[in-house]
A and B are shown apart, each in its own frame.
Chain A
Amino acid sequence: MQRYSLPHLIRRGLRGQRGWTRAWRKAAPKPSYDVVIVGGGGHGLATAYYLAKLHGVRNVAVLERGWLGGGNVGRNTAIVRSNYLWDASAHIYEFSLQLWEGLSRELNYNVMFSQRGVLNLGHSAHDMHGLARRVGANKLNGIDAELLSTEQIARLVPILDTSAAARYPILGGTLQRRGGVARHDAVAWGYARAADALGVDIVEGCEVTGIRAAAGRVAALETTRGEIRAGKVGLVVAGNASVLAAMAGLRLPIQSHPLQALVTEPLKPVLDPVVMSSAVHVYVSQTDRGELVLGAGIDAPTSYDLRGSFRVIEHTLAATVELFPIFSRVRMLRQWAGTVDVCPDASPIIGPTPMEGLFVNCGWGTGGFKATPGSGWVFAHTLAHGQPHPLNAPFGLDRFAAGALIDEHGAAAVAH
């Protein structure tokens, strides 16, 4: 791997920027691997990286149907935080946040992780009770959390309408200062480059069309680029988890919905932290280029249409303009959607399946991006050892029969 550094950049500059090499090889699939990861998104690439780096498993392929980073890793609103209510979630998201804090150095790739703080607003006495409870739970789990008054919020984000007459009055909020945003494409590219350097084959344009088992154990994957034998298989996909699981005869507790996001024209710096409001389902941040990134809610009907309905955007933008009157004349540049796989308890599924050798890491719903490093780390451990790490043990597929759901609907800061 060509190591990126300032002297390296200067040397290349003096030579007219010639001699840069590809960040990762265009690998063709080999007939057989120890581990095959299906899905070249952030979680899949992180899994492959930690498998090779920490567990010495290097005969690994990552199969991606489209192009690398074209799925939800490049479609989210790039928010990173760990202020979840329940212990199981708090532990895995906080572990992930700690990995984020060293990720650019770890990967030798600037993922532009910016800890500008994540502010969650409360609009009612009920909201404030919930936020105070969550701050208490976060502190017990060693996660930084502060309860802010309306006056403190007005100083932190002067452009918010904090007047008593506001359509959505702001009674207070919570702030996680270590939360922030990261450049999501760079996360995929950085993990791909680092995994490739350790020998992982990243195979783009390779769609899995079938899962073949022998004696109850996963044996091979049928793909558009031929059959690939595999010792173990990890399904790390979003938007098609149920479709892939069905190839192995499995049913998952997942429903797929469109989730939309938008970007505005660039503005002068006007918004420092990420601002989220669960009650009106708004989340907004400003990029380093000055664009506002806004996220909407999911469309209620299940769909794979990658579009979403106009009504949902209208709802989000109406609420955004009530909260930030200054944004009323900002023009939107782009709108897009991703397909999110939502579990009944809004928590992911990370662990083994009834088919031996077949593992899943899916169902991250609307909030998987922030978990990318931690998710890859625990799933690599799960694949290498054949059983989950204590951090992901509560997130097994078996929790639905056991009844041990991790209900993060409304319990987290919601609005991912």
Chain B
Amino acid sequence: MLQIPCPWCGPREDAEFDFGGEADIQRPADPDALDDAAWADYLFMRVNRRGVQREQWVHTAGCRRWFVVERDTVTNEILQASTMGRRP
């Protein structure tokens, strides 16, 4: 059981949240300009990091807001959480 520090609500157990995958994946500004390989890269290819990963969570059973968590995917240690839109 993880304890997720929601930036608005504080630490809550992970049953209240849903996982939203890797953070910092931006939708291409002009999708029509992309070839199939570039579009597949955006849609499907992932770093799937073993180590500290920036990832998205949503506080489904709380404030219902999305935010970014830095978590070590090997130890599950959560290093920090921040609001959306702040890129490293």
Give residues in A with beta carbon < 8 Å to B. 240, 242-243, 246, 251-256, 300-305, 307, 309-311, 344, 400-403
Q: Are A305 and B48 neighbours in the complex by a CB distance under 8 Å?
A: no
Complex Cα spacing A303 to B41, Å: 21
Complex Cα spacing A131 to B57, Å: 34
Q: How many residues of B contact A (CB 8 A)?
A: 27
Complex Cα spacing A254 to B48, Å: 7
> Knowing that A243-B50, A252-B46, A255-B21 are A-B contacts, what are 15 other residue pairs whose CB atoms are under 8 Å apart, sorted by A's residue number?
A242-B48, A242-B50, A251-B47, A252-B45, A254-B46, A255-B46, A255-B48, A256-B48, A301-B14, A302-B19, A309-B1, A311-B15, A344-B43, A400-B44, A401-B37
Complex Cα spacing A400 to B39, Å: 9
Of A243, A255, A401, which one neighbours B40 at CB under 8 angstroms? A401
Most buried by B among A251, A302, A305: A302
Complex Cα spacing A255 to B48, Å: 6
What's the least CB distance linking B49 to chain A, in Å? 8
What's the least CB distance linking B81 to chain A, in Å? 14
User: Residue of A at shortest CB range from B1?
Assistant: A309
User: Residue of A at shortest CB range from B46?
Assistant: A255
**Contact partners of A246 in chain B: CB under 8 A:** 47
Q: Are A253 and B45 neighbours in the complex by a CB distance under 8 Å?
A: yes
Complex Cα spacing A403 to B53, Å: 28
Interface majority SS on B: helix, strand, loop or mixed?
mixed
Top 9 A-B pairs, shortest CB-CB distance? A253-B44, A242-B48, A251-B45, A401-B40, A301-B19, A401-B36, A400-B40, A300-B19, A400-B44
| Interface presence of B29 (CB below 8 A) | no
Complex Cα spacing A57 to B27, Å: 46
**Contact partners of A252 in chain B: CB under 8 A:** 45-46, 48
| Interface presence of B75 (CB below 8 A) | yes
Complex Cα spacing A311 to B55, Å: 21
What's the least CB distance linking B33 to chain A, in Å? 16
User: Residue of A at shortest CB range from B35?
Assistant: A401
Complex Cα spacing A385 to B62, Å: 55
Q: Are B1 and A242 neighbours in the complex by a CB distance under 8 Å?
A: no
What's the least CB distance linking A345 to chain B, in Å? 9
| Interface presence of B2 (CB below 8 A) | yes
Give residues in B with beta carbon < 8 Å to A. 1-2, 14-15, 18-19, 21, 36-37, 39-41, 43-50, 53, 55, 71, 73-76
Complex Cα spacing A304 to B50, Å: 7
Complex Cα spacing A254 to B76, Å: 19
**Contact partners of B73 in chain A: CB under 8 A:** 256, 302-305
User: Residue of A at shortest CB range from B41?
Assistant: A251
User: Residue of B at shortest CB range from A299?
Assistant: B19
Q: Are B37 and A309 neighbours in the complex by a CB distance under 8 Å?
A: no
Most buried by A among B41, B44, B71: B44
**Contact partners of A240 in chain B: CB under 8 A:** 50
Of B1, B36, B44, B71, which one neighbours A310 at CB under 8 angstroms? B1
Of A251, A302, A400, which one neighbours B53 at CB under 8 angstroms? A302
Complex Cα spacing A356 to B52, Å: 31
Q: Are A301 and B40 neighbours in the complex by a CB distance under 8 Å?
A: no
Complex Cα spacing A309 to B4, Å: 14
**Contact partners of B45 in chain A: CB under 8 A:** 251-253, 400
**Contact partners of A401 in chain B: CB under 8 A:** 36-37, 39-40
What's the least CB distance linking B77 to chain A, in Å? 10
What's the least CB distance linking A66 to chain B, in Å? 15
**Contact partners of A403 in chain B: CB under 8 A:** 36
Complex Cα spacing A251 to B44, Å: 9
**Contact partners of B1 in chain A: CB under 8 A:** 309-311
**Contact partners of B49 in chain A: CB under 8 A:** 242
